[in-house]
Amino acid sequence: MLAVADRSTRSLAMLVVIDGPVFHGDSDESHFFEWLAELPSFEKVVGVGTQLEVSLREPVDDATALGLLALCDRWRIDMSPLRAIRSKGNEAWFASPQRWFYTQLWSKRHD
């Protein structure tokens, strides 16, 4: 079961910078930002050049971590910046080689 923390008890403390996705229409872009905004730890997002600065409240709950992984997978965004979300509380599943996202998250990129 995924834990969801109460937003009011957390402080803004983490900034994750990801590559901006390629959108294939206005509705595609709307869906991306709506999904991002629905994540429990989400605070705000700011576009800087071709990147997105995603501000999260800590501790980042499991639902948000998994949601960010799914967003990056769906929009083909490099997951490596999400490594910063790993914590003692989530590492059993977040760093597990058996998880569907493990290779994308933890393998070194060869650009």
- Give the mean pLDDT of the chain: 88
- Residues with Cβ within 8 Å of 68's Cβ and at least 6 positions away in sequence, in order, are 16, 39, 54, 82, 85
Q: What is the pTM of this model?
A: 0.84
User: For residue range 47-82, what is the model confidence (pLDDT) as tens digits?
Assistant: 999 999 999 999 999 999 999 999 999 999 999 999
Q: Are 70 and 104 in contact (CB under 8 A)?
A: no
Stretch 10-29: mean pLDDT: 88
User: What is the arithmetic mean of pLDDT over 25-41?
Assistant: 96
**pLDDT value for 23:** 93
pLDDT value of residue 2: 31
For residue 18, give the amino acid letter. Answer: I
